[in-house]
Amino acid sequence: MQNIDEPNEPSKVEIPSPPESYQLVACPLCKREEALRYEARYPLAVCPVCVGQITDNSGRRLVFYEDALLGFTGYYPDSQGKEYYKSRFCYVKGVRCWAEVMRFGGIVIQIYQEKT
């Protein structure tokens, strides 16, 4: 009969597996694989490395940040915050992408596809 005061055997301790929502996802743009929180809602979301390379259509570096009023705003980091970018479209390595506020906060950059 088992003594209920006896602690569990250490060998039975399971190493917790990462949450299932984290999967190895290949970036749709650069094909680099990274363990990301997979969002089925955003299948064309690019990876953080690509997000760090977004530009406008002339190749000038852009940054999007969250804005309490507008959702998000884009600006040119080389303008010391004085010059804003009005569009939600941006480019990564010449591929047209667009910025969107995610359902639960944060900004997602996705490859843009024309609606057919």
* Chain residues that interact with Zn ion, rule: CB under 5 A: 27, 29-30, 46-47, 50
CB of 97 to Zn ion, least distance (A): 10
> Which of 102, 104, 107 lies closest to 74 in space, CA to CA?
107
CB of 64 to Zn ion, least distance (A): 16
- Check if the beta carbon of residue 92 is closer than 8 Å to that of residue 54: yes
CB of 91 to Zn ion, least distance (A): 13
> Which of 71, 103, 105, 68 lies closest to 88 in space, CA to CA?
71
Task: Please state, in angstroms and rounded to a whole number, the distance separating the CA atoms of residues 17 and 39.
Answer: 19
Query: Of 48 and 71, which CB lies nearer to Zn ion in the complex structure?
Result: 48
CB of 35 to Zn ion, least distance (A): 14
Query: Of 31 and 82, which CB lies nearer to Zn ion in the complex structure?
Result: 31
33: β partners = 26
Query: Of 85 and 97, which CB lies nearer to Zn ion in the complex structure?
Result: 97
- Check if the beta carbon of residue 87 is closer than 8 Å to that of residue 97: no
Query: Of 3 and 113, which CB lies nearer to Zn ion in the complex structure?
Result: 113
| CB closest to Zn ion, residue no | 27
